A and B are shown apart, each in its own frame.
Chain A
Amino acid sequence: MESDVEQRIEAYLSRLRGRLRGVSGEEVREIVEELRSHLMDKAATSGEMTAAGVEAALAALGSPDELGSQYMTDNLLARAEVSRSPLQILKSLFRWASLSTAGFFVLLGSIVGYFFGVVLMLVAVAKLFHPRTAGLWTYSDSSGMELSFRLGFSSAPVGGKDLLGWWIVPIGWLAGGALVMLTAHIAIWFVRKYRRSLLLPRN
């Protein structure tokens, strides 16, 4: 049966484990085992583990939420570095954006990049189903000439011109794909630079 002090340690580690969502099972085990080992050593500095020793050791580590957050930040950024998945990259950028202004701007830029990339690809696909109305259209209105990506669900703009015609299909795919890849590439470059400069995510 676990003693009170052991239960206190397990409660802390269990709370920490709960904060490490998204970290691989193997890594979570490593982190938790290392901290358990640390707490047992620290709390038993003068022989037996005492309640006061355990409390002091836990206090020195800080709250499990804050500690988990430090591990999470790095883990997310590390995964963004090796991942090409826009979702993973955006997840990491959201995390970074919550920590710094630089992260916020990189997130904003990435959202814009991904958005236009995806729109280009969507228009390319839509052209196959709505050949007469989907595409990159230009038309003039009260504020001057407008460019518009249209998926073709509504009628073509009056007096408008489908700029690329069927060329939107290969161009949309190529340019959209390239934009998504370029956005990922630039975002990862920033993440890598940030990670290298990062010693501590928070005070």
Chain B
Amino acid sequence: MKERDESSQETGDKWEVQLRKGCLELAILAALWDGKLYGLEILRRLESGSDLIVSEGTVYPLLSRLKALGLVRSEWVESDAGHPRKYYALTPAGKQRVREMAGMWARFSASMSKLIAPLAREK
């Protein structure tokens, strides 16, 4: 029984990891909606504004991928810290993409909420 509990816990963890990963692209693009940010700012925005536990080693290659896809552009800006920082901003294609993703997300989460509503009553 204990084994089954552990295995179900593991499956649940994997599902949660996949769920979080799946949301990462939307989360990064959404974080850039209000304006340009550099990598560490994006990470902090994600950590403070969402439940996403983001690995830093994941975000930078992902940003590079989003740039290659033409969804974000980047520029180097000198900082007070004494070194330049690479800022990212949404391109028109990125804005279009994040709008579409946000729409899909809203529809999907609304339908899932409806589906799981009975669980809340059963207590």
Q: Do A and B truly interact? A: yes
For the complex, would chain A's binding face be called helix, strand, loop or mixed by DSSP majority?
helix
Q: How large is the interface on A (under 10, 10 to 19, 20 to 34, 35 or more residues)?
A: 20 to 34
Inter-chain CA distance A186–B61, complex, in Å, is 26
Residues of B within 8 Å of A31, CB to CB, are 60, 64
Determine the residue in chain A with the shortest Cβ distance to B39: A38
Smallest beta-carbon distance A155→chain B, Å: 54
- Interchain CB contact under 8 A, A37 and B68: no
Residues of B within 8 Å of A42, CB to CB, are 40, 56
Residues of B within 8 Å of A60, CB to CB, are 55-57
- Interchain CB contact under 8 A, A74 and B17: no
- Interchain CB contact under 8 A, B85 and A199: no
Smallest beta-carbon distance B98→chain A, Å: 15
As a 0/1 sequence over residues 7 to 50 of chain A, the CB contacts with chain B under 8 angstroms (1 = contact) are: 00000000000000000000000110111111011101000000
Q: How large is the interface on B (under 10, 10 to 19, 20 to 34, 35 or more residues)?
A: 20 to 34
Known contacts: A33-B86, A41-B81, A199-B22. The answer to whether A67 contacts B62 by CB under 8 A is no
- Interchain CB contact under 8 A, B83 and A70: no
Determine the residue in chain B with the shortest Cβ distance to A27: B64
- Interchain CB contact under 8 A, B61 and A71: yes
Residues of B within 8 Å of A198, CB to CB, are 65
Residues of A within 8 Å of B60, CB to CB, are 31, 34-35, 38, 61, 67
**Is there a chain A Cβ closer than 8 Å to B48's Cβ?**
no
Smallest beta-carbon distance B2→chain A, Å: 25
- Interchain CB contact under 8 A, B56 and A200: no
B residues 39-85 in Cβ contact with A at 8 Å: 39-40, 55-58, 60-62, 64-65, 68, 76, 81, 83-85
Smallest beta-carbon distance B3→chain A, Å: 23
Determine the residue in chain B with the shortest Cβ distance to A70: B61
Determine the residue in chain A with the shortest Cβ distance to B85: A37
**Is there a chain B Cβ closer than 8 Å to A146's Cβ?**
no
Inter-chain CA distance A74–B68, complex, in Å, is 9
Known contacts: A34-B39, A34-B86, A41-B40. The answer to whether A199 contacts B64 by CB under 8 A is no
Smallest beta-carbon distance B93→chain A, Å: 13
**Is there a chain A Cβ closer than 8 Å to B36's Cβ?**
no
Inter-chain CA distance A13–B51, complex, in Å, is 30
Residues of B within 8 Å of A66, CB to CB, are 57
Smallest beta-carbon distance B21→chain A, Å: 5
List, sorted by A's number, 26 A–B pairs whose CB atoms are closer than 8 Å. Answer: A31-B64, A33-B86, A34-B60, A35-B60, A37-B38, A37-B39, A37-B84, A38-B39, A40-B81, A40-B83, A42-B40, A60-B55, A62-B55, A62-B56, A66-B57, A70-B57, A70-B61, A71-B61, A71-B64, A74-B61, A74-B68, A78-B68, A198-B65, A199-B24, A199-B62, A203-B17
